A and B are shown apart, each in its own frame.
Chain A
Amino acid sequence: MDAKISDTKPEQLETEVARSKIYEAAYSHLQSLGLRPGVEGFDWSLDFTLHFGLDSPDVGGPEGPGRIRDRV
């Protein structure tokens, strides 16, 4: 397997920043937990995880992770 790290330059991605659904989902999730500009973090104890024990992120929107995939 050859090493391959993206060689995309930041300036090339400038216009794509707003289009990353993963970034937006992660941003929304952190905001929902209270990590937003002007607020000092949040109680990480509420978000402590081991594997899938406590983790209940909101990423993915209303049909987010944990949903049962549509059966084909």
Chain B
Amino acid sequence: MFRLAILKLTAFCNLDCSYCYMFNLGDRTFERVHRNMPIGVALACLERIREHAVAHELSEFHVTLHGGEPSLWPLEDFSVFLARAEEIRRSDVELTISLQTNAVKLPQRLLGLLAEHRVTLGVSVDGPREHNDRARVTKGGAGSYDRVMRTVDSIVEGQYASLLQGFLSVANPDIEPAAYLEWADSLPVRRLDVLWPMELNHASLPWGTGQEARYRSNPRYGMWFAQLFEQWWHRDDPTLYIRLFYDCIYTLMGSPRHIENIVNDTVPIFVVNTDGCIEYHDYFRALADGGVRTRFRVQDDPLDALAADPVFRYLLDLGEHLPAECRDCQFGDICGGGFLPGRMEPDHMPPRRRSVLCYDEYYFFSSIRRTLAPWLATCDLPGVHAPLIANASTDPPSLLGVA
């Protein structure tokens, strides 16, 4: 069963971020679909979700409003959509709704609607201004940081401050970890997540030709995440919430919950594009044009029909498809084959192999394990990650070639 829907309310954006998987990597679907999701399609999404939740007795279901830039969707459509969502909440299932925005511009009327219907906001921003503005730029190439933070400040200082749940950034090893933490400390809401890069996969490796051995010893992203974690841990300020780090700690302490980015046991997620086509997760968008598209349409097909699709089936049962090369890895449980975008390979869906970020993730998990080992040894929660303690090793990554 599915538990989360990502709705593409728009297929356009008021920024032009260099790494954007919607517009600037392999997928050109945005050129072939509606700019705005028609309200009828959006309401059909809600109906499919309601049916699915009722049929599977789900007490809640999460909807992420996404794009393009979702805040550019017509305000009158937001009003109709959220009113219907409210009806479903009252009668059938608790819909939790969030909107992931670039926060370039968020009209007060939209904020009012979001507040009225308990829609939370996540803001995408990639670290300190000088780093953010290299990638997150306007169509004219100007940096977006100052404009975004002005919007954020206006929200925080106004009546809708509670909407703002946190910030989402993409890992950037060019940022010194100490500088990143200093920046995070300065945010008006000290709550953020850091994503592994989504543009790296088996067709776009993190190392250059002939450089794999060198990369294996110095995995750029893994080292950056490890340093960031270590500095965050030693600062010991639990109110600076970095979701990936807490999720790793929870998992090592025995939490059985599903976690985005790590564990990778299931992906109960589908995407609906503006034309109503039900798509695979955005994670697969970078590799090929149209690679996420399916034959299913939210206007015609119940969500249970998706279970007949081999890729959706594979993703729902992802934990059963741990790559063979990962089965003896001491981090198999927490890594689960690695961040999904990195597992993609040309002309093969679903993914079969471990992530090309394997060296990075191995390094990162090694670092966390070493830092946490003394605390985990005293942890009395059931399911605490004992094998990691028993096998605590300080060895650097020792892997066979990915490529």
Interface string of B246-259 (1 = CB under 8 A from A): 10011001111111
Contact call B62/A51, Cβ cutoff below 8 A: no
Cβ-defined partner of B64 (8 Å) among A25, A39, A44, A51: A51
Cα A30 to Cα B260 in complex, Å, equals: 17
A35: min CB distance to chain B, Å: 6
Cα A50 to Cα B193 in complex, Å, equals: 10
B218 sits at the interface (CB 8 A): yes
Cβ-defined partner of A27 (8 Å) among B187, B253, B268: B253
- The size class of the interface chain A forms with chain B is 35 or more
Are A26 and B218 also in contact (CB < 8 A) when A17-B374, A51-B193, A65-B166 are? no
Cα A4 to Cα B237 in complex, Å, equals: 21
Cβ-defined partner of A52 (8 Å) among B156, B161, B165, B366: B165
Interface string of B51-93 (1 = CB under 8 A from A): 0000000111010100000000000000000000000000000
Are A48 and B370 also in contact (CB < 8 A) when A20-B375, A60-B239, A69-B188 are? no
Contact call B190/A65, Cβ cutoff below 8 A: yes
B269 sits at the interface (CB 8 A): yes
B313 sits at the interface (CB 8 A): no
Stretch from B272-280, B334-342, B380-388 at the A interface: B380-388
Cβ-defined partner of B258 (8 Å) among A38, A44, A63: A44
Are A30 and B168 also in contact (CB < 8 A) when A17-B374, A51-B98 are? no
Cα A1 to Cα B176 in complex, Å, equals: 9
Contacts of A30 in B (CB 8 A): 250, 253-255, 381
Contact call A1/B239, Cβ cutoff below 8 A: no
Cα A50 to Cα B100 in complex, Å, equals: 10
Cα A17 to Cα B145 in complex, Å, equals: 39
Q: Is the interface of A mostly helix, strand, loop or mixed?
A: loop
Cα A22 to Cα B234 in complex, Å, equals: 9
B227 sits at the interface (CB 8 A): yes
Cα A57 to Cα B188 in complex, Å, equals: 18
Contact call B246/A5, Cβ cutoff below 8 A: no
B3: min CB distance to chain A, Å: 5
A54: min CB distance to chain B, Å: 5
B401 sits at the interface (CB 8 A): no
Contacts of A54 in B (CB 8 A): 60, 62, 96, 98
- Which residues in B have some Cβ–Cβ distance to A below 8 Å? 3-4, 6, 58-60, 62, 64, 96-98, 100, 120, 122, 156-157, 161, 164-166, 168, 173, 187-191, 193, 218, 220, 223-224, 226-227, 230, 233-234, 236-239, 241, 243, 246, 249-250, 253-260, 268-269, 363, 366-367, 370-375, 377-383, 394
- Which residues in A have some Cβ–Cβ distance to B below 8 Å? 1, 3-6, 8, 10, 13-14, 16-17, 19-27, 29-31, 35-42, 44-55, 57, 59-61, 63-69, 71
Interface pairs (7), CB distance under 8 Å = A1-B224, A35-B381, A35-B383, A51-B98, A51-B243, A54-B98, A61-B239
